[in-house]
Amino acid sequence: MKMISRKRLKDYRIDEQINDKGHVRSAAVYIGADYTLSPPVLASGKRFLFRLSVLAGLLFVGALIPATRTARLMYIILPFTFSALPIFQMAGAAGSLLFAKDIMVRDRAEKISNRLPSCSLFTAILSGSAFSGLCITAAVSADGLITGDFIFGALSLALSLTATIIFIKCRHLKARRVEHDPPLLL
Protein backbone atom coordinates (compact mmCIF):
# COMPACT_ATOMS: atom_id res chain seq x y z
CA MET A 1 0.00 0.00 0.00
CA LYS A 2 1.26 3.45 -0.88
CA MET A 3 2.24 5.67 2.04
CA ILE A 4 0.00 8.73 2.14
CA SER A 5 1.01 11.81 4.07
CA ARG A 6 -1.52 13.21 6.46
CA LYS A 7 -1.40 16.49 4.57
CA ARG A 8 -2.72 14.82 1.38
CA LEU A 9 -5.17 12.38 2.96
CA LYS A 10 -8.21 13.97 1.30
CA ASP A 11 -6.66 13.41 -2.14
CA TYR A 12 -6.90 9.61 -1.80
CA ARG A 13 -9.55 6.96 -1.29
CA ILE A 14 -8.85 3.47 0.08
CA ASP A 15 -10.25 0.66 -2.08
CA GLU A 16 -10.37 -2.85 -0.68
CA GLN A 17 -10.33 -5.85 -3.00
CA ILE A 18 -10.24 -9.58 -2.38
CA ASN A 19 -7.45 -11.36 -4.25
CA ASP A 20 -7.39 -14.97 -5.54
CA LYS A 21 -6.35 -16.37 -2.17
CA GLY A 22 -9.20 -14.62 -0.34
CA HIS A 23 -7.03 -11.97 1.32
CA VAL A 24 -8.25 -8.41 1.53
CA ARG A 25 -5.92 -5.99 -0.23
CA SER A 26 -6.14 -2.25 0.32
CA ALA A 27 -5.04 0.17 -2.35
CA ALA A 28 -4.85 3.95 -2.30
CA VAL A 29 -6.61 5.50 -5.27
CA TYR A 30 -5.93 9.12 -6.18
CA ILE A 31 -9.16 11.14 -6.39
CA GLY A 32 -7.71 14.63 -6.05
CA ALA A 33 -7.34 17.32 -8.65
CA ASP A 34 -4.87 17.14 -11.49
CA TYR A 35 -1.77 19.34 -11.38
CA THR A 36 0.73 20.62 -13.88
CA LEU A 37 3.88 22.68 -13.71
CA SER A 38 3.72 26.34 -14.58
CA PRO A 39 5.46 27.49 -16.73
CA PRO A 40 5.45 24.19 -18.66
CA VAL A 41 8.83 22.52 -19.11
CA LEU A 42 9.57 21.20 -22.58
CA ALA A 43 11.12 17.75 -23.08
CA SER A 44 14.45 19.31 -24.07
CA GLY A 45 14.39 21.41 -20.89
CA LYS A 46 13.68 18.33 -18.79
CA ARG A 47 16.66 16.51 -20.31
CA PHE A 48 18.86 19.59 -19.85
CA LEU A 49 17.96 19.91 -16.15
CA PHE A 50 18.50 16.20 -15.58
CA ARG A 51 21.92 16.30 -17.26
CA LEU A 52 22.93 19.34 -15.22
CA SER A 53 21.87 17.68 -11.96
CA VAL A 54 23.82 14.52 -12.82
CA LEU A 55 26.79 16.72 -13.69
CA ALA A 56 26.44 18.40 -10.29
CA GLY A 57 26.62 15.01 -8.58
CA LEU A 58 29.69 14.04 -10.59
CA LEU A 59 31.39 17.37 -9.80
CA PHE A 60 30.69 16.82 -6.10
CA VAL A 61 32.21 13.33 -6.09
CA GLY A 62 35.10 14.41 -8.32
CA ALA A 63 36.05 17.26 -6.00
CA LEU A 64 36.46 14.85 -3.09
CA ILE A 65 38.91 12.57 -4.92
CA PRO A 66 42.18 14.56 -5.11
CA ALA A 67 44.43 14.92 -2.08
CA THR A 68 44.33 18.52 -0.85
CA ARG A 69 45.65 20.61 1.99
CA THR A 70 42.88 23.16 2.15
CA ALA A 71 39.98 20.72 2.07
CA ARG A 72 41.06 19.55 5.51
CA LEU A 73 39.99 22.90 6.94
CA MET A 74 36.56 22.87 8.57
CA TYR A 75 35.32 26.11 7.03
CA ILE A 76 36.01 24.71 3.54
CA ILE A 77 35.02 21.06 3.77
CA LEU A 78 31.91 21.38 5.97
CA PRO A 79 29.88 23.59 3.62
CA PHE A 80 31.01 21.46 0.70
CA THR A 81 29.98 18.16 2.30
CA PHE A 82 26.69 19.65 3.53
CA SER A 83 25.80 20.23 -0.12
CA ALA A 84 25.58 16.46 -0.70
CA LEU A 85 21.95 16.15 0.41
CA PRO A 86 20.62 19.04 -1.71
CA ILE A 87 22.60 17.78 -4.71
CA PHE A 88 21.12 14.31 -4.62
CA GLN A 89 17.60 15.58 -3.84
CA MET A 90 17.95 17.96 -6.77
CA ALA A 91 18.96 15.03 -8.99
CA GLY A 92 15.98 13.03 -7.75
CA ALA A 93 13.59 15.89 -8.49
CA ALA A 94 15.12 16.33 -11.94
CA GLY A 95 14.70 12.61 -12.57
CA SER A 96 11.06 12.83 -11.49
CA LEU A 97 10.61 15.79 -13.82
CA LEU A 98 12.23 13.88 -16.67
CA PHE A 99 9.72 11.03 -16.44
CA ALA A 100 6.69 13.11 -15.38
CA LYS A 101 3.68 13.52 -17.62
CA ASP A 102 2.18 16.94 -18.30
CA ILE A 103 -0.70 16.18 -15.91
CA MET A 104 0.34 14.68 -12.58
CA VAL A 105 -0.80 14.14 -9.02
CA ARG A 106 -0.38 16.88 -6.44
CA ASP A 107 2.46 15.23 -4.50
CA ARG A 108 4.71 14.83 -7.52
CA ALA A 109 4.04 18.32 -8.87
CA GLU A 110 4.73 19.96 -5.52
CA LYS A 111 7.88 17.94 -4.85
CA ILE A 112 9.33 18.86 -8.22
CA SER A 113 8.39 22.53 -8.01
CA ASN A 114 9.68 22.88 -4.44
CA ARG A 115 12.85 20.80 -4.53
CA LEU A 116 14.47 21.90 -7.79
CA PRO A 117 14.77 25.63 -6.97
CA SER A 118 15.49 25.27 -3.26
CA CYS A 119 18.04 22.46 -3.56
CA SER A 120 19.87 24.16 -6.40
CA LEU A 121 20.02 27.42 -4.44
CA PHE A 122 21.41 25.69 -1.33
CA THR A 123 23.94 23.79 -3.46
CA ALA A 124 25.11 27.00 -5.12
CA ILE A 125 25.50 28.77 -1.77
CA LEU A 126 27.26 25.91 0.02
CA SER A 127 29.71 25.02 -2.75
CA GLY A 128 30.30 28.72 -3.42
CA SER A 129 31.18 29.29 0.22
CA ALA A 130 33.62 26.37 0.08
CA PHE A 131 35.25 27.97 -2.96
CA SER A 132 35.36 31.35 -1.17
CA GLY A 133 37.02 29.73 1.84
CA LEU A 134 39.59 28.14 -0.47
CA CYS A 135 40.34 31.52 -2.06
CA ILE A 136 40.76 33.18 1.33
CA THR A 137 43.04 30.39 2.50
CA ALA A 138 45.11 30.66 -0.69
CA ALA A 139 45.52 34.40 -0.14
CA VAL A 140 46.73 34.17 3.46
CA SER A 141 48.41 30.75 3.50
CA ALA A 142 52.15 30.57 3.86
CA ASP A 143 52.30 26.91 2.79
CA GLY A 144 50.88 27.49 -0.68
CA LEU A 145 48.54 25.30 -2.63
CA ILE A 146 49.12 21.92 -4.19
CA THR A 147 47.59 20.60 -7.42
CA GLY A 148 44.72 18.92 -5.57
CA ASP A 149 43.70 22.27 -4.10
CA PHE A 150 43.36 23.78 -7.57
CA ILE A 151 41.31 20.80 -8.74
CA PHE A 152 39.06 21.02 -5.67
CA GLY A 153 38.62 24.76 -6.22
CA ALA A 154 37.81 24.41 -9.91
CA LEU A 155 35.30 21.63 -9.32
CA SER A 156 33.61 23.41 -6.41
CA LEU A 157 33.31 26.56 -8.52
CA ALA A 158 31.92 24.53 -11.42
CA LEU A 159 29.43 22.90 -9.02
CA SER A 160 28.31 26.29 -7.77
CA LEU A 161 27.85 27.57 -11.33
CA THR A 162 25.96 24.45 -12.40
CA ALA A 163 23.59 24.76 -9.44
CA THR A 164 23.12 28.46 -10.23
CA ILE A 165 22.11 27.62 -13.81
CA ILE A 166 19.58 25.07 -12.52
CA PHE A 167 18.21 27.66 -10.08
CA ILE A 168 17.85 30.27 -12.83
CA LYS A 169 15.98 27.78 -15.03
CA CYS A 170 13.65 26.61 -12.21
CA ARG A 171 13.11 29.61 -9.95
CA HIS A 172 9.62 30.36 -11.34
CA LEU A 173 8.46 26.74 -11.38
CA LYS A 174 5.15 26.28 -9.55
CA ALA A 175 2.63 23.48 -9.18
CA ARG A 176 -0.67 24.66 -10.62
CA ARG A 177 -4.05 23.00 -10.39
CA VAL A 178 -5.55 22.05 -13.75
CA GLU A 179 -9.02 23.45 -14.20
CA HIS A 180 -11.15 21.20 -16.39
CA ASP A 181 -13.87 22.84 -18.40
CA PRO A 182 -17.39 21.85 -17.33
CA PRO A 183 -19.38 19.94 -19.95
CA LEU A 184 -21.60 22.03 -22.19
CA LEU A 185 -25.30 21.59 -21.66
CA LEU A 186 -27.40 21.91 -24.79
Going by their DSSP bridges, the two strands 24-30 and 35-38 should be labelled as unpaired
Mean pLDDT of all residues in 123-143 = 90
The answer to whether residues 85 and 127 belong to one domain is yes
Question: How would you classify residue 24: left for phi > 0, otherwise alpha for psi between -120 and 50, otherwise beta?
Answer: beta
- pTM metric for this prediction: 0.82
Q: Domains in the chain: how many in total?
A: 2
* Helix or strand (DSSP H, E) at 13: strand 12-18
Domain identity same for 21 and 45: no
Q: Given a cut of 90, is residue 34 above it in pLDDT?
A: no
Could you list the beta-strand ranges (E) of 19-113: 24-30, 35-38
Q: Whole-angstrom Cα distance, residue 132 to residue 115?
A: 25
Helix (H) or strand (E) holding 150: helix 147-170
Q: Which CATH number fits the domain that encloses residue 64?
A: 1.20.120
Residues 5-25 have pLDDT tens digits of 666 777 778 888 888 888 888
Q: Mean pLDDT score of the chain, rounded to an integer?
A: 87
Q: What are phi and psi of 33, to 5 degrees?
A: -75, 160
Q: At what angle do helices 106-140 and 84-99 cross, to 10 degrees?
A: 140
Question: What is the residue type of 30?
Answer: Y
- Within-domain flag for 184: no
Say yes or no: 69 and 157 in one domain.
yes
Q: Which has more pLDDT, 182 or 140?
A: 140
Taking every pair of Cα atoms in the chain, the longest distance, rounded to a whole number of angstroms, is 85
Answer for the pair 89, 115: CB distance below 8 angstroms, yes or no.
Answer: yes
Domain holding 27, by residue range, is: 1-32
Distance (Å, whole) CA 55 – CA 159? 8
Q: Give the pLDDT of residue 144.
A: 78
pLDDT of 4 strictly over 90: no
Same domain flag for 4 and 43: no
Greater model confidence, 41 or 128 = 128
